[in-house]
Amino acid sequence: MIYYKTREEIELIRKSCLLVSATLAEVAKFLKPGISTLEVDTMAEKFIRDHGATPSFKNYRGFPFACCISTNDAVVHGFPNQVLLKEGDVVSVDVGAYMNGFHGDSAYTFALRQASPDVKQLLKVTKESLYKGIEKAIAGNRVGDISFAIQEYTEKQFGYGVVRELVGHGLGRHLHEDPQVPNYGRRGTGMKLREGLVIAIEPMINMGSKDVYHDDDGWTVRTKDGKASAHFEHSISVQRSKADILSSFAEIEKNEKANPNLESDY
Q: What tens digit of pLDDT does each residue of 11-36 get?
A: 999 999 999 999 999 999 999 999 99
Q: Which of 262, 144, 247, 153 is CA-nearest to residue 200? A: 247
CATH number of the domain where residue 39 is located: 3.90.230.10
The structural domain count of the chain equals 1
Q: Where are the alpha helices (DSSP H) in the chain?
A: 7-30, 37-50, 117-135, 143-151, 250-258
The radius of gyration of the chain's CA atoms, rounded to the nearest angstrom, is 17
In-domain check, residue 74 = yes
In-domain check, residue 107 = yes
Looking from the CA of 89 toward its CB, the CA atoms found within 13 Å total: 20
Report whether 97 contacts 56 (CB < 8 A).
yes
φ/ψ region of 164 (left if φ > 0, alpha if ψ in -120 to 50, else beta) reads alpha
End-to-end CA separation in angstroms for the chain: 40
In-domain check, residue 263 = no
Q: What is the mean predicted confidence (pLDDT) over 243-262?
A: 98
If pLDDT is split at 50, 70 and 90, which confidence band does 248 have? very high
Q: pTM for the full model?
A: 0.98
In-domain check, residue 152 = yes
> In this predicted structure, what is the pLDDT of residue 193?
98
Looking from the CA of 91 toward its CB, the CA atoms found within 13 Å total: 34
> In this predicted structure, what is the pLDDT of residue 5?
98
> In this predicted structure, what is the pLDDT of residue 165?
96
With H, G, I as helix, E, B as strand and everything else as coil, classify residue 218.
Answer: coil
Q: What tens digit of pLDDT does each residue of 119-134 get?
A: 999 999 999 999 999 9
Q: Which of 49, 121, 88, 109 is CA-nearest to residue 253? A: 109
In-domain check, residue 151 = yes
Query: Quick one: what percent of the chain has pLDDT higher than 70?
Result: 100
In-domain check, residue 2 = no
Angstrom distance (rounded) from CA 18 to CA 159: 33
Q: Which amino acid is at 190?
A: G
Burial of residue 224 (CB within 10 Å: 0-12, 13-18, 19+) is middle
Q: Which amino acid is at 102?
A: F
Tally of residues, the chain: 266
Looking from the CA of 94 toward its CB, the CA atoms found within 13 Å total: 28
Q: Which of 2, 21, 19 is CA-nearest to residue 178? A: 2
In-domain check, residue 266 = no
> In this predicted structure, what is the pLDDT of residue 203?
98
Domain span at residue 184 reads 7-258
In-domain check, residue 125 = yes
The set of residues, in sequence order, having a beta carbon less than 8 Å from that of 223 and lying 6+ positions away, is 73, 75, 161, 206, 207, 208, 209, 211, 212, 229
Report whether 112 contacts 30 (CB < 8 A).
no
